[in-house]
């Protein structure tokens, strides 16, 4: 009850009756996972809820972190697990599990901490505001190719840079833009061989034979190592190498 009270206050609703029915339905569905999933069945990673409040109507992804209990999307903690009922199991959470955006996914997943640091560096455009844009509002939806922390570490070695701060603002902006497609929620099955993918930083080429990969303007290949992490305003694919814009 306290979680719903906080949700209503934060969203500016006087009571549950003030929440639009469609929105409330999708929020409630975002608390339901198909199957009898006990707490010891969960591991750090992604699962799908029953919410379909996504650009393509596919099921919503939720990030689960089991490093210290069970944390959902970086904010909602399971405080009472494994309450068994006739037709399933109930886990009590301390916060309403909102519909995640691209930003929610990035900040919840520790594998993207360097990406988040880059996106939020004080000399960069307001990527957080942009990637929080609701679906149906320009420039959403988005397709984001998200490099892991290891990918960023390898990039620093490749560029002979001691740390992220050593990359100048313009280069970092162009690099981050090269990972974002605006106006399209492109799932993995929509990629094809020799497909031109137009990002905010220029064109890259997708190929799927032998495993999905992206080739940047410098003929460098990034493998897609996890795909179709679905948010309310776009989709995230995880890549193992940072995409670079054309380098002089």
pLDDT at 15: 92
pLDDT at 222: 98
Q: How far apart are the first and last CA of the chain?
A: 58
pLDDT at 60: 99
Closest CA to 30 of 5, 73, 60: 60
Asked if residues 57 and 45 have their Cβ atoms less than 8 Å apart, the reply is no
Asked if residues 245 and 175 have their Cβ atoms less than 8 Å apart, the reply is yes
Residues 6+ apart with CB under 8 A from 49: 29, 30, 31, 32, 33, 59, 60, 61, 62, 97
DSSP secondary structure code for residue 138 in this structure = T
- Enter the tokens of residue 59: 């099921």
pLDDT at 248: 67
Q: Helix, strand, coil % (nearest 5) of the chain?
A: 30, 25, 45
Q: How far apart are CA 199 and CA 212, in angstroms?
A: 17
- Ordered by where they begin, the domains of the chain are 2-93 (2.30.180.10), 102-239 (2.30.180.10)
pLDDT at 247: 77
pTM as predicted: 0.95
| Cα 122–chain centre separation | 21
Largest CA distance in the chain: 64
Per-residue pLDDT of the chain (248 residues; tens, 9 = 90+): 999 999 999 999 999 999 999 999 999 999 999 999 999 999 999 999 999 999 999 999 999 999 999 999 999 999 999 999 999 999 999 999 999 999 999 999 999 999 999 999 999 999 999 999 999 999 999 999 999 999 999 999 999 999 999 999 999 999 999 999 999 999 999 999 999 999 999 999 999 999 999 999 999 999 999 999 999 999 999 999 999 999 76
């Amino acid at each position: 009850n306290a979680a719903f009270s906080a949700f209503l206050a934060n969203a500016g609703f006087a009571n549950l009756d003030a929440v639009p029915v469609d929105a409330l339905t999708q929020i409630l569905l975002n608390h339901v996972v198909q199957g009898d999933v006990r707490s010891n069945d969960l591991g750090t990673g992604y699962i799908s809820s029953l919410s379909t409040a996504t650009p393509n109507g596919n099921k919503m992804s939720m990030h689960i972190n089991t490093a210290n209990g069970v944390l959902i999307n970086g904010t909602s903690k399971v405080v009472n697990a494994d309450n068994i009922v006739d037709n399933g199991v109930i886990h009590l959470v301390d916060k309403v599990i909102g519909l995640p955006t691209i930003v929610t996914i990035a900040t919840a997943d520790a594998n993207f901490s360097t990406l988040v640091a880059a996106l939020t560096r004080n000399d960069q455009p307001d990527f957080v505001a942009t990637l929080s844009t609701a679906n149906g509002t320009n420039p959403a939806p988005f397709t984001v190719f998200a490099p892991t922390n290891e990918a960023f570490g390898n990039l620093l070695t490749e560029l002979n840079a001691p740390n992220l701060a050593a990359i100048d603002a313009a280069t970092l902006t162009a690099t981050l833009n090269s990972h974002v497609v605006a106006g399209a929620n492109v799932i993995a099955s929509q990629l094809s061989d020799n497909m031109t993918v137009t990002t905010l930083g220029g064109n890259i080429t997708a190929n799927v034979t032998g495993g999905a990969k992206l080739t940047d303007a410098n003929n460098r290949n990034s493998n897609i190592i996890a795909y179709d992490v679905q948010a309310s305003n776009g989709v995230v694919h995880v890549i193992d190498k940072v995409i670079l814009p054309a380098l002089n």
